[in-house]
């Protein structure tokens, strides 16, 4: 029996990515990273800024997301996100810009706890890529 | 009868108008392709989002404790209508259709004695509504500077709406936009986004139980505002595709009409030229005869 399932990542503009030979996906869920294998129980959760890594037969791919929702059902994993980047596509200077924007956001005074947490996560993730 | 010179001038002016409408049609056709593409590509996101929310809301055990964006404020007194139109004219019945739909909705609300508030998105809608409903318009948003519909603009509108909802400025929110069916048909839509309509879609909300992390309430609280932006973004995409479609067919018609007009004017021009020649000949002949 194959141990593969489907993944689909959509953002508002288009269907970003779709694969059906996925072995494992690790998503940065709000309460901590979560690994998903085939026949995982149906789950809905949302994402904090972080790295999605997708393990397929042909190799591993990593994506940076800022937010999103994951839904897993009947071996179909859907990820809805408004901002996603392939790690390969992030250029060095581009990354610096992203960090700058994220740091500005995190240093704002009027944030509530949750947005403060999310902004800090964003800075941390981006810096770890550096 | 108009003189030959006048006719000539009219023909050339109609011809140059025709050139303009033709060019506009071409531009609209090129833009339509792109807008249509992004409208179609944008559909999965909003659909999936809707499904997730349906699944979530069916999983909620305590309906009375559900977030207000989902269950409503309990009142139905103040209605907020978001009328989404284009920023540019010359697109046939595109804006007029939305306005018509919106106005009939306004009338219905008035008959029921509800209070009405309007947000217009796009300057054309504002222009047409401010005469009759000027005092009801609380906000006018226009994205003249953005080339294409993009998600950030939609988020801006979404935030404004949510802010007003949290201040309890309205109970029910409906958006008006044109759904793109094909180039000649655009269907004006009225879609209620607050509170969310969760009843009409049974096929997707299965009984299967989900695990939620964190719990349903928190996910819903996070998701519902996003859903509003998503729905608005969808409406914006549909609208921009519809706008280009409507403009294309309107300009196509205009070009054809101009062509017909040029034909008619040319015939008239030739006739009067002939008439002038004949008249001159008669004058010469009768002058020669009288000698």
Q: What is the pLDDT of residues A7-51, one digit of tens each?
A: 999 888 778 888 888 999 999 988 888 899 988 888 888 888 888
Which residue among B7, B28, B91, B193 is the active-site one? Answer: B91
Under the banding of pLDDT at 50, 70 and 90, the label for residue B63 is low
pLDDT in the model for residue B210: 78
Mind telling me how many Å the CA of A42 is from chain B's nearest CA?
5
How many angstroms separate the most distant Cα atoms in chain B? Answer: 113
Partner residues linked to A52 by β-bridges = A63
Domain segments of chain B: what residues?
A: 4-20+257-286, 22-202+211-250
pLDDT in the model for residue A30: 83
Among B36, B41, B216, the strongest candidate for a mutation testing the A interface, having the largest count of A CBs within 10 A, is B41
Q: Which of the pair, B154 or B64, is modelled with greater confidence?
A: B154
Calpha distance B264→B255 (Å, rounded): 14
Q: Are B67 and B103 contacting, i.e. CB atoms less than 8 angstroms apart?
A: no
pLDDT in the model for residue B64: 65
Q: What is the mean pLDDT of chain B?
A: 87
Mind telling me how many Å the CA of A106 is from chain B's nearest CA?
19
A14 contacts in B (CB within 8 Å)? Answer: 38, 41-42
Q: Chain B window 96-135: which residues touch A at a Cβ cutoff of 8 Å?
A: none
CB-nearest to B211 from A11, A31, A43 is A43
B46 contacts in A (CB within 8 Å)? Answer: 12
pLDDT in the model for residue B18: 96
B219 contacts in A (CB within 8 Å)? Answer: 44-46, 69
Among B45, B158, B217, B227, the strongest candidate for a mutation testing the A interface, having the largest count of A CBs within 10 A, is B45
User: 3-state class of B206 per DSSP?
Assistant: coil
Under the banding of pLDDT at 50, 70 and 90, the label for residue B111 is very high
Q: What is the pLDDT of residues B21-30, one digit of tens each?
A: 999 999 999 9
B223 contacts in A (CB within 8 Å)? Answer: 46, 69
Residue B264 forms contact with A (CB below 8 Å):
no
Domain segments of chain A: what residues?
A: 5-86, 90-129
pLDDT in the model for residue B251: 94
Mind telling me how many Å the CA of B212 is from chain A's nearest CA?
5
Nearest Cα neighbor of B98 from B252, B231, B236 is B236
Tell me which range, A53-67, B45-59, B216-230, is most confidently predicted by mean pLDDT: A53-67
Q: What are phi and psi of B27, to 5 degrees?
A: -60, -45
**B233-258 core/surface letters (b: 16 or more CB in 10 A; e: else):** bbbbbbbbbbbbbbbbbbbbebbeeb
pLDDT in the model for residue B13: 96
B22-202+211-250: CATH number: 3.40.1380.10
Position B195 pLDDT exceeds 80: yes
A5-86: CATH number: 2.60.15.10
B47 contacts in A (CB within 8 Å)? Answer: none
The ipTM, to two decimals, is 0.77
Please indicate whether residue B81 is annotated as part of the active site.
no
How many angstroms separate the most distant Cα atoms in chain A? Answer: 54
Mind telling me how many Å the CA of A112 is from chain B's nearest CA?
14
């Amino acid at each position: 029996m194959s141990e593969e399932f489907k993944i689909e990542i959509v953002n508002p503009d288009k269907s970003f990515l779709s694969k059906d030979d996925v072995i494992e996906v690790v998503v940065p869920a709000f309460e901590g990273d979560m690994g998903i294998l085939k026949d995982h129980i149906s789950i809905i959760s949302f994402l904090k800024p972080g790295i999605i890594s997708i393990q397929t037969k042909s190799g591993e791919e990593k994506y940076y997301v800022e937010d999103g929702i994951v839904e897993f059902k009947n071996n179909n994993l859907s990820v809805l996100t408004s901002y996603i980047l392939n790690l390969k596509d992030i250029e060095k200077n581009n990354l610096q810009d992203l960090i700058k924007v994220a740091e500005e956001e995190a240093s704002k005074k009027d944030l509530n706890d949750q947005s403060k947490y999310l902004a800090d996560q964003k800075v941390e993730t981006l810096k770890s890529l550096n | 009868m108009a003189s030959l010179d006048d006719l000539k001038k009219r023909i050339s002016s109609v011809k140059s108008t025709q050139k303009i409408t033709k060019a506009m049609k071409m531009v609209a056709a090129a833009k339509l392709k792109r807008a249509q593409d992004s409208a179609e590509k944008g559909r999965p996101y909003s659909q999936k989002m809707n499904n997730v929310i349906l699944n979530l809301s069916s999983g909620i055990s305590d309906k009375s404790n559900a977030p207000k964006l989902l269950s409503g404020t309990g009142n139905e007194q103040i209605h907020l209508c978001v009328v989404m139109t284009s920023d540019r004219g010359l697109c046939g019945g595109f804006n007029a259709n939305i306005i018509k739909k919106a106005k009939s909705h306004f009338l219905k609300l008035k008959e029921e004695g509800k209070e009405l508030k309007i947000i217009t998105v796009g300057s054309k809608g504002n222009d047409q509504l401010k005469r009759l409903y000027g005092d009801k318009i609380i906000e006018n948003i226009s994205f003249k500077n953005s080339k294409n519909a993009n998600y950030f603009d939609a988020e801006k509108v979404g935030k404004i709406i949510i802010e007003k909802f949290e201040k309890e400025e309205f109970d029910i929110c409906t958006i008006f936009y044109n759904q793109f069916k094909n180039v000649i048909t655009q269907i004006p839509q009225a879609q209620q986004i607050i509170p969310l309509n969760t009843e009409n879609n049974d096929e997707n909300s299965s009984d299967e139980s989900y695990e939620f992390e964190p719990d349903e309430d928190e996910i819903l609280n996070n998701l519902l505002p996003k859903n509003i932006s998503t729905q608005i973004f969808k409406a914006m995409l549909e609208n921009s595709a519809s706008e280009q479609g409507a403009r294309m067919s309107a300009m196509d018609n205009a070009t054809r009409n101009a062509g017909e007009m040029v034909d008619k004017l040319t015939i008239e021009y030739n006739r009067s030229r002939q008439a002038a020649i004949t008249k001159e000949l008669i004058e010469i002949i009768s002058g020669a005869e009288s000698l």
